[in-house]
Chains A and B, each alone.
Chain A
């Protein structure tokens, strides 16, 4: 095995960055999305996904902008540069350490709760006798296998699985339009600004996960458009989400929607594909949905492990071993919420915290680095030499 051969193929292309963003976003949240989107806004629930998408797009674009100042570096690497000065390098490290640690902890918790939610769905909807633990462990092991590889593999697996994530959702949305009652979508403009704000906050959970780009933007190719990727990636996710929400509201009406635990799954149940050999596709849909969940948990966990590795300045061996060892606390964390209601409460806390925190992060860093301007670049250049 010759590892150093052809390193040029190892950087992420724009398309790969896009697929990473989209497939990280689309995950467990998509099953509850039509309900959570229509809680506050009612018939116009799809507006909240668009608004939420636009806000996240802005935040992600700022991340890309920030990353362009430090090509080839992740948040973990440039954070001490921004916060310290050339004379006081240790100061940067000391200040940035808790901030970066916060960020990593956030990723870790997302991974844990996403896997728990995933386990809950599988156990309530298809494998009713299988212990929750078994489904979660199986998913964790896959994530650990992913962590054994180079960052390039993450990009490629996302690229490979991307159609498997998007196509079923698009098909579902289009197929369920035949059962749709379009009057359910009207009237549109009956909400206040406060409703809109609440609606956006409800959907934050569905849009969390693009924060991994703090790490993954570092691997972008020289010519790769990070800004384009963040707009495209969030745009695709927003489009899919909006279609799903529209389909959900049009088929179910908002009153019924509020009673359904997994509206998207019920959407599959009400949709019949004519001329197919198989009858009820919800198990098949869930099986394909596993792919979407894997890309979420896998990417987030990989970003966490990679960030940790950079924070501690360790190599790939550390990454491989720690990815396995850190599964144990992750597993414990995933099992903490008692039931779905508690889990969704935790989730919304994490979602709010994340939204505020990481909406603020890029702005904060960008502001600081622009303020310090040229001096910083010289410093970064020195480090490169």
Chain B
């Protein structure tokens, strides 16, 4: 064992110790002790563990008919009150027969303090009976929640209109509803020492590569964090390379996209409290592929996909190409155009690189501002801002007219991307690309492109090379790469995810 390994081990041990000390106040600190038979004693312990918080509702019910007393506990606002009064309280006060169960959908028994506490915090109702060392846990979560709505970010022309909500069970059901396969498995995890966020890992047993699934589970279980408020928390913990500008997990708020990806043999991660699901592994194709591609007919989807590819290149390269052409290689611009461009630039006081940077930053500000602005005003401000500012800048001779066209095309191009997080990564890379173009011209652009490609070639998402199926090349998977063949021809699942079941369409089908 080398010195390096020793050092690593030491460091890991130190880190472990740090975490165990750090989370001493959280759920782990609740003793996993059995409940007592004494009702008031139990009530005291629970109230003590919750720090006698004021939103804890305790209703004690003397039950003279049974010769005992009971208590109903829940957190205010997190439960469906009707269910409690209708079923539990009524049941307790009216029913004589012991064997009859209260008409509650899910009823469990808990024997330990920790379980009880966790149940209360998840919006369940606890029924404690004096003289019994166990608690009834009735599933009555009923806080205010948003209904199923159309996804805000990923809208499609053709395709289902429902999107995920903030409720994990609803989201899981939305996927289940599409995949009535007994092999659709859900694994429930609780992540976050303080938030105790429910996480559902969905996969199709017999389709997914068990290696990938195990890796996803391993990485999820290794997370030690105080709180998970959005799936992005998890994404940043389980991604392969934190320093990469490219997203290594796909996120979506469309259940149909999740279902489609599960069918390809990927793993979906749904997180309580956010409409964004994660899909692992992700490859570069996510930059220009959308579920809609499979809903539309062959030619349409091929055309749209090619348009997206072009717009991807435009959003990454156009401003840098403008800089390279205008200040390094003017011989490449047609003679007539070059004279017109020179005239347009003659009043501009900055070099084209500065001009481009100013405009690009301005348009990014506009974009960000229009996201923050309240609903109906946002787009208006965006358009008005762009038009008015652009026009004024040209008239004032601060910016050349061609530059305005370039910047608008770039921005429009980046919005043609089917996913926001991929679009933004390309928009970011545009800036160093512009700098390189400002130093070396086309040569600089090429150097930076090679640098990006080296990074992409080295990048992996859960063991799947990011650039597959282009590299390593998989000819069969090319059926669904830049163009997509008619669905009938796409007989196999993409082999890059190493699915256990390879066939998805029976061959030789004819209408």
Contacts and interface: CB of A to CB of B under 8 A. Distances in A.
A378 interface: no
Interface in B422-472: 440-447, 450-451, 453-454, 456-458, 462-463, 465, 467, 470-472
Contacts of A366: none
Nearest to A290: B446
Contacts of A127: 328, 440-441, 443
B333 A157 contact: no
Contacts of A157: 453-454, 457, 471
Contact of A142 (B4, B211, B241, B454): B454
Contacts of A241: none
A288 interface: yes
Contact of A279 (B332, B457, B463): B332
Contact of A145 (B215, B328, B332, B451): B451
Tell me whether chain A's interface is mostly helix, strand or loop, or mixed.
Answer: helix
Q: What is the interface of chain B mostly: helix, strand, loop, or mixed? A: helix
Q: Which among B219, B241, B457, B465 has the greatest number of chain A C-beta atoms within 10 A?
A: B457
A126 B454 contact: no
A102 interface: no
A15 B4 CA distance: 37
B375 interface: no
B178 interface: no
A312 interface: no
Chain A interface size range? 35 or more
Given A142-B454, A156-B465, A160-B456, A16 B472 contact: yes
Contacts of B211: 6
A101 interface: no
B446 A126 contact: no
A372 interface: no
Interface in B287-325: 325
Contacts of B325: 278
Given A126-B441, A283-B441, A286-B443, A159 B473 contact: yes
A280 interface: yes
A170 to B, nearest CB: 19
Interface residues of B, number: 37
B193 interface: no
A294 interface: yes
Contacts of B465: 9, 156
A278 B332 contact: yes
Given A290-B447, A294-B450, A153 B440 contact: no
A139 B332 CA distance: 24
B287 to A, nearest CB: 15
Interface string B319-343: 0000001001101111100000000
A338 interface: no
A279 B467 contact: no
A156 B467 contact: yes
A142 B332 contact: no
A5 B472 contact: no
A122 B443 contact: yes
A286 B443 CA distance: 8
A246 to B, nearest CB: 27
Interface string A300-315: 0000000000000000
Contacts of B440: 127, 130, 134-135, 138
B477 interface: no
B463 A146 contact: no
Closest 7 CB pairs of A and B: A6-B463, A156-B457, A287-B442, A159-B471, A283-B329, A157-B457, A156-B471
27 contacts: A5-B462, A9-B463, A9-B465, A13-B472, A13-B473, A16-B472, A126-B329, A126-B442, A127-B441, A134-B440, A138-B444, A142-B451, A142-B454, A149-B457, A149-B458, A157-B457, A159-B470, A160-B470, A160-B471, A279-B331, A280-B331, A283-B442, A284-B442, A287-B443, A290-B443, A291-B446, A291-B450
Interface of A: 1-2, 5-6, 9, 13, 15-16, 122, 126-127, 130, 134-135, 138-139, 142, 145-146, 149-150, 153, 155-157, 159-161, 277-281, 283-284, 286-288, 290-291, 294, 317
